[in-house]
Chains A and B, each alone.
Chain A
């Protein structure tokens, strides 16, 4: 017989567990050591033995699918025991769903009273349990028909494991609720019909009212006790004799009163299912030792609750518990039945403590179902059914990671996604004690950051918790900061650099380089990469992510940094040089602007023209249709009109096909490239002179015309491109008709091989083709000038200039020149910047501090960056170098912080300040929604020598 005095039952369950936790019985050999079978140990940071007892940093011991013990002290473990460290997780007993809609939803026949029906007959052991297990449910109730007065006997089954059915013939479910009223009439023709056993008309069935329901039940019980011989009566008699559990679906007070009467009259245990109003009868329920299944309302959309719906009273469950009534929890019909953890959390709104709420979905639920000797707790001897969660079970961020039944993993979030060939959620929730967003003062006392799809979704005290998100709890001591920005690096770049030709390739190519990883692991997530030597015209540089896959996330593609050198020996000519560069750049920029405007106008005109033409031809077509003229031919003509403005003149003359003349197509597929690069080349030769026009769909409208050599004997074409000292070699060997193997050599920076196929054969006279192919008749772009591309970027507002200037005069001249040209600027180096601080402050120009962060001057240790900050100038930091040396920058800053550069100042200048100065604050520098998911987790205060970096994320992915 079951006991519903939950406290008593719990005490009985908990007692052995508590004693094995090591209290008084220290000297005795633990009982769990004895026994056959292999002992397995699971280590977790928190283990709930049941709702009310938990162990921190303990071990769950399992033998033969049963719990052997839960212990705290590692020294108690026998030697040579393999310990599975589950990590920083919570382990709790498998959840027990006290109700489920898996069975009992109709079709169970017309009989209004069918105590002989068994819900277990409807159990489908092959039903997919994924949705059940992912919520941590290991045991659940199978209901008989809910919409009948006596639905039948319920059952209890497990959601996994070998032995699925725990209770075949469980409680008798009776419904006193209106949905059981007015059952259909019952008709069963006898076979064979005889005079003694004739066919009778369909029989009307009770009940139509609650009074009728109770009357029918009493009558039925009386019939059963008097030995009526139908199946229902026999089953009823058996139930009454064995004093099983009576489960009554009862909502209102009257229904609960009826349930109490029945239980008293029949002398059975009572479970009131759905007692929203049960608190009004708490004392009566306690006297009857009844348990209540409470259904806290949970919604994802607003259901039609009807005009009379009232939420349960805020103290409903408190009253029940105080009266001594056991409460099990299951979500209401408006929510999903598997939301057990949510139901438990929600029930605290009706007066339950956290412990009682957890009990309501574990041990109390097991008690209601009569299976508390098997499940619902991790006390010794119970089934080793447990759930591994991230976070506290009642926390909305808690996510079930693994589910064990009888000691075996039956569900695992990570492998399940793999098995089902699904992409696992990439959402990560980082928890720490203190958050530095990059701006302003840190936020302390427990913070969260949500990263998803490579971006920061939210950062603050609490963040949304998407299902399946990985939770990294770094602890209260940990600090989270944005990823650091190195304002000037030469990582993986040689002396020269042609951004137009090789930027994408380099940025990705260098990923193979181990140095990048070292940078990322040091917390530097973004670095501005430029060549080691900088000229006075300015070279384009790019802010590159130190750890990211190929693609546009690998670098900040819409903003550039232009590096200039204004350091000079002749200060007198500096101004004119700078102004010359700037005005030259401006002219070049204006040429492009003009082209852009003309092009836009031309395109607009073209569009209008073709629209007019179409309109005209349509009108004509309509006219012809109206007059019944022949239409088909005209349609064809219209189509060919649309294809006006032919790009290339075609020659019809047929001569013998040349091996190389024609249009070649190929795709460079290389893991170092952000994406496969399609290349089109129109090649034609005159003797040994080979001319090629190269284009790519990636850069529409831009073609490069190259002159090379053609060796007809080896069938090899060769191009050499000289650009700022960088020699790019293209060599193609025709190995089969219309097929060429091409090797690209990037001056030792790397090489790539690809194949090209000829898709068009040019047979016409070569001379006609040597003219540059025009795409259309509209305005054509000006010739690209690599020297001024940086300047163009500046004028177009796509870049910030970073100018090397040390002496005060250099700085002054630079600032003045740039102010005049109205271009954004920052000074790099700036040895004498403090002397012109006023000018810099006025012009709002920041300074990238020199590489020597601490210098000794006049017997004093000086931190130049600190002095600049004191003068109110924005500051950023640079490594100015490549390789592993660059990764030492955060360490150097830590030392600088000890010399008087404040932690907050360092952090700001190393993240948000630098991002703003470099014009990349729309992507990086702060932990703010919408920015790149770059963050660093420190195990203590950042820029402290005792602190270590524990995790680094770049674009939402952990650097490992």
Chain B
């Protein structure tokens, strides 16, 4: 149900097919590299002329000027004309999955790592576009969608691609296709209520079990370890950390629960980052209310919105919410009084209100399918270049809780680097090379598909 059988065969086939295409050239040592470039953008707005970056074991260990000392065993690559930066980051996408959502509306047990297709053309194309990190998470046509992962667009297995511990859980406030908002919210409430009811019963059950076993122990049949809650699976308990107290609450441990319950408890405990799908401003209003009702910390919730949500920008700013803007950057609405079309550029509104947000690409549209283009649009609409670049580098990292690890070139960050022929927001800039974890994974000169595209079919 969750994984198609054909996936495995596709995987095998595709892996074989692309093995020669994007295979990294053999480097002296895995994950060790030093790159020097005419310009190194360490963070948006911070540039080192003729900077040097040293990566060891997949992490950046040193960033400095042209005189930076290079370890003796590391090869230095020098690109005096080029620009080096951490690569673009796509904060939220459901591409690269065999399908974005399952049919089950409440599916907290799902995890995209079972669904990511590492050799899909999507990842190959993202790599070609200079993207070094993507947050892949189930789609929005759901109630509770499942766990997402932060991955690099390169690797033959999900583990190989993975860049972190996990991105968080998808929760949709915006209704599923064909549902009304009240049906959506009732379903969410129903899942929560049902869980609480089940937990109460379980607690009672555990208490009864303990009493039984205590009776048995009294009878002297066998000795029991201290601290055992009696269910024989574990010795901890205390997994439930939300809601009102009830009998046996402390005794419930993670292993006592099934997959659905475990996932829901982790949401309600605040153990996982929540990606709250709220496409419209109305959904944002309901989403904020949900977050408030559940007392979630603002930094553990990301509102996944569309441009329409600009109308709720004040509410988002007031709540200190983090926002992942997806799809088109522009909201087009009809003024109901005059019947005229009104256009609003959502990033400008969010920026004006001081909201931490990211922007995403729009698949299927030439131009907006590149993050560089989207960020450049923000510059056109009045943002500074540094602020616009932040929307596709450091801000996604912030939303992932990976600040300082991704989206920047600094000591301790992942050795993900993208080498461009020019400025990251310039239309004429080409992606020359990409390193992930210090390994060269893309080279424009050996990108056969691109070459064929550019040169045309010769035979």
Contacts and interface: CB of A to CB of B under 8 A. Distances in A.
Interface of A: 103, 106-109, 114, 116-119, 121-128, 130-131, 144-145, 152, 189, 191-192, 229, 231, 234, 416, 419-422
Contacts of A127: 282
Nearest to B187: A109
* Highest count of chain A CB atoms <10 Å: which of B107, B186, B259, B260: B186
Contacts of A116: 186, 189-190
B126 to A, nearest CB: 32
B197 interface: yes
Contact of A191 (B104, B178, B180): B104
A107 B336 contact: no
The 3 closest A-B pairs by CB, nearest first: A420-B337, A121-B182, A420-B338
Contacts of B385: none
Nearest to A419: B337
* Highest count of chain B CB atoms <10 Å: which of A109, A118, A126, A130: A126
A128 B311 CA distance: 12
Given A117-B182, A189-B104, A231-B190, 15 more contacts: A116-B186, A117-B183, A122-B180, A126-B285, A126-B312, A128-B336, A144-B182, A191-B104, A191-B107, A191-B260, A192-B260, A231-B193, A234-B193, A420-B335, A420-B338
Contact of A109 (B180, B193, B194): B180
Contacts of A118: 182, 185-186
B197 A421 contact: no
A421 B336 contact: no
A152 B106 CA distance: 22
Interface in B211-259: 258-259
A114 B335 CA distance: 36
A485 B193 CA distance: 82
B280 interface: yes
B281 interface: yes
Interface string B152-183: 00000000000000000000000000111111
B183 A109 contact: yes
Contacts of A192: 258-260
A158 B126 CA distance: 47
Contact of B281 (A121, A126, A130): A126
Label chain B's interface by main secondary structure: helix
Nearest to A234: B193
B282 A119 contact: no
B286 A121 contact: yes
B457 interface: no
Interface residues of B, number: 32
Given A126-B281, A126-B312, A131-B336, A117 B178 contact: no
Contacts of A106: 180
* Highest count of chain B CB atoms <10 Å: which of A103, A117, A234, A419: A117
Contacts of A123: 282
Interface in B330-373: 335-338, 340
A119 B312 CA distance: 21
Given A116-B189, A191-B260, A231-B190, A108 B182 contact: yes
Contacts of B259: 192
B180 A422 contact: no
B185 A130 contact: no
A123 B283 CA distance: 10
Nearest to B104: A191
B102 to A, nearest CB: 10
A128 B182 CA distance: 20
B337 A416 contact: yes
Interface in B307-344: 311-312, 335-338, 340
A126 B281 CA distance: 7
Nearest to B260: A191
Contacts of B183: 107-109, 117
B315 to A, nearest CB: 9
A413 to B, nearest CB: 11
A682 to B, nearest CB: 45
Contacts of A152: 182
Contacts of A128: 336
Contacts of B193: 231, 234
Nearest to A126: B281
21 contacts: A107-B178, A107-B179, A107-B180, A108-B183, A118-B186, A121-B286, A122-B181, A124-B280, A126-B281, A126-B282, A127-B282, A131-B336, A145-B182, A191-B104, A191-B106, A191-B260, A231-B186, A420-B338, A421-B338, A421-B340, A422-B338
* Highest count of chain B CB atoms <10 Å: which of A122, A123, A421: A122
Contacts of A234: 193
A109 B181 CA distance: 10
* Highest count of chain A CB atoms <10 Å: which of B107, B182, B258: B182
* Highest count of chain B CB atoms <10 Å: which of A103, A121, A124: A121
B353 to A, nearest CB: 16
B182 A122 contact: yes
Nearest to B180: A107
Contacts of A130: 336-337
Contacts of A144: 182
A707 to B, nearest CB: 55
A416 B336 CA distance: 12
A766 to B, nearest CB: 56
Contacts of B285: 125-126
Contacts of B104: 189, 191
A191 B338 CA distance: 49
Contacts of A229: 197
A26 to B, nearest CB: 47
Contacts of A421: 338, 340
B172 to A, nearest CB: 13
A121 B282 contact: no
Nearest to A164: B285
Given A128-B336, A231-B193, A422-B337, A119 B182 contact: yes
Contacts of B311: 126
Contacts of B190: 116, 231
Nearest to B105: A191
B342 to A, nearest CB: 10
Contacts of B107: 191
Nearest to B311: A126
A436 to B, nearest CB: 39
Nearest to B334: A128
Interface string B96-111: 0000000010110000
* Highest count of chain A CB atoms <10 Å: which of B178, B180, B197: B180
A126 B314 CA distance: 12
B186 A109 contact: yes
B111 to A, nearest CB: 15
Contacts of B181: 121-122, 124
Nearest to A165: B289
Contacts of B197: 229
A419 B340 CA distance: 12
B415 to A, nearest CB: 41
* Highest count of chain A CB atoms <10 Å: which of B179, B181, B197: B181
Contact of B186 (A114, A125, A189): A114
Contacts of A231: 186, 189-190, 193-194
Nearest to A191: B104
Nearest to A114: B186
Nearest to B286: A121
Interface in B87-130: 104, 106-107
A125 B189 CA distance: 21
A796 to B, nearest CB: 47
A111 to B, nearest CB: 9
B173 to A, nearest CB: 10
Contacts of A109: 179-180, 182-183, 186
A116 B104 CA distance: 21
A682 B259 CA distance: 93
Contacts of B312: 126
Nearest to B182: A121
A106 B181 CA distance: 11
Contacts of B280: 124, 126
Contacts of A114: 186
